[in-house]
Amino acid sequence: MGLTMNSLVHFGELLPEYGVRVLNEREVRAGAGILFFLAIISFLNAWLLGDLLPTKVFVMAFLVDFIIRILINPRFSPSLIVGRFFVRNQKPEYVGAPQKRFAWSIGLVLALIVFYQVIVRHVIGPINLLVCSIFLILLFFETAFGICIGCSIYNLIYTDKAQLCPGNECEVDKKHEVQTISTGQIVVVVVFLALVWGDAHWLSTTTPCIDAIQNNQAAHADEEESSVVEDRCRVPDLSIAIGHANNWKLHNNCK
């Protein structure tokens, strides 16, 4: 029984060629991408529509997922299982498990804060917005750039530095030429951002406001409706001649 429990409840895989337990970074990034996608959907629903139900569901699911991956075994984390499915044909990239456990513990703490605020206390406020923003930033950096911010914090706290970082970041002392950024490339980015800002400013001054468009459309609709009503309620000459104009209006629902 003890052997069975040890084989099920642990963090990371123990491979003979590595000195620490490891995780598949491709699977980890895929899981982070799945969580980021679901998080941004729930966040936008709360922010734009005022619907907190997706956020509450996501917080519950996220909390359970991280409890499983940290306290039981990442192998049974639902998000990592789905991530493993999508990257199953890619060559594994092994990274150290200890720093990942520390980073995920930060995510678990954030999830507990939001759970207490949103689920338990039903509180909506700046604390939730701040925690959700931090959470989204952590997931985005993990997904888009393969940068584990929590792992960097791990190196600042522990004297036993992280091993097997994504992309061999821990071992890279000298960058290759393809990794360097030249002055010309920086100029290109600056000019590009300036052009985007200029376009945004120009469009804001030349594009009609949505409210103005809607008001104009409503005004035109009212004018058309008034014109239709006026045509429909025009009293025939015969009714006027015989003095039945008011009765005609009454029978035709006209004022």
User: pTM above the 0.85 mark?
Assistant: no
**Contact of 162 with 170, CB cutoff 8 Å:** yes
d(CA 160, CA 12): 18
CB 86 within 8 A of CB 30: yes
- The gap between the terminal CA atoms of the chain, to the nearest Å, is 89
Whether residue 250 is predicted with pLDDT greater than 90 in this model: the reply is: no
Do 135 and 66 sit in the same domain of this protein? yes
Same domain assignment for residues 144 and 188 = no
Contact 127, 135 (CB under 8 A): no
Name which residue leads in pLDDT, 152 or 209. Answer: 152
The answer, yes or no, to whether residue 242 has pLDDT greater than 80, is no
pLDDT in tens, 134-189: 889 999 999 988 888 888 888 888 887 777 777 666 665 667 777 788 899 999 99
pLDDT digits (tens, 9 = 90+) for 106-132: 999 999 998 998 888 887 778 888 888
Where does the pLDDT of residue 8 fall: very low under 50, low under 70, confident under 90, or very high at 90 and above?
confident
Going by C-alpha positions, the residue among 68, 151, 137, 159 that lies closest to residue 102 is 151
Q: Tell me what percent of the residues of the chain surpass a pLDDT of 70.
A: 78
Q: Are residues 109 and 202 in the same domain?
A: no
Higher pLDDT, 148 or 211: 148
Q: Which of 99, 97, 81 is nearest to 30 (CA)?
A: 81
174, 203, 218 - which closes a domain: 174
- Summary mean pLDDT of the chain: 82
Q: Taking residues 64-72, what's their average pLDDT? A: 93
**What SS3 state is found at 194?**
helix
- Token pair of 178 as six digits: 């393809």
Domain coverage including residue 146: 2-174
Across residues 39-46, what is the average pLDDT? 88
How confident is the model over 34-45, as a mean pLDDT? Answer: 91
Res. 82 pLDDT band, cuts 50 70 90: very high
Same domain for 26 and 144: yes
Q: How confident is the model at residue 194 (pLDDT cuts 50, 70, 90)?
A: very high
Q: Name residue, tokens 């997931």.
A: 139
Q: What are phi and psi of 94, to 5 degrees?
A: -85, 135
Helical H segments across 9-89, by residue range: 25-44, 53-67, 78-86
Query: In angstroms, rounded to a whole number, what is the distance separating the alpha carbons of residues 237 and 240?
Result: 5
**Lowest mean pLDDT segment, chosen from 83-92, 100-109, 168-177:** 168-177
Residue 9 has pLDDT above 70, yes or no: yes
* Pick from 41-45, 121-125, 226-230: least confident: 226-230
Of 46-55, 91-100, 173-182, the least confident: 173-182
- Can you give the pLDDT at residue 137? 92
How many CB atoms within 10 Å of residue 10?
Answer: 15
Contacts 24+ apart (CB under 8 A), 35-40: 35/62, 35/65, 35/79, 35/139, 36/136, 36/139, 36/140, 36/142, 36/143, 39/132, 39/135, 39/136, 39/139, 40/136
Residues 130 and 188 in one domain: no
Residues 141 and 204 occupy one common structural domain: no
- Both 141 and 203 in one domain: the answer is no
**8 Å CB contact between 55 and 129:** no
Domain identity same for 45 and 142: yes
Q: Are residues 120 and 85 in the same domain?
A: yes
Query: Tokens at residue 120, please?
Result: 């338990």
144 and 221 belong to one structural domain: no
Contact 32, 82 (CB under 8 A): no
pLDDT band at 2 (very low <50, low <70, confident <90, very high): very low
Q: Could you say which of 174, 200, 217 is where a domain stops? A: 174
Tokens 């990442």 identify what position? 74
Task: Find where tokens 């001054």 sit.
Answer: 205
> Based on the domain organization, do 127 and 245 belong to the same domain?
no
Q: Are residues 25 and 48 in the same domain?
A: yes
**Structural domain count of the chain:** 2
pLDDT of residue 251: 67
Res 125: pLDDT = 78
Q: Which of 151, 174, 197 is the last residue of a domain?
A: 174
- Do residues 232 and 254 lie in contact, with contact meaning Cβ atoms separated by under 8 Å? yes
Quick one: how far is CA 53 from the chain centroid? 15
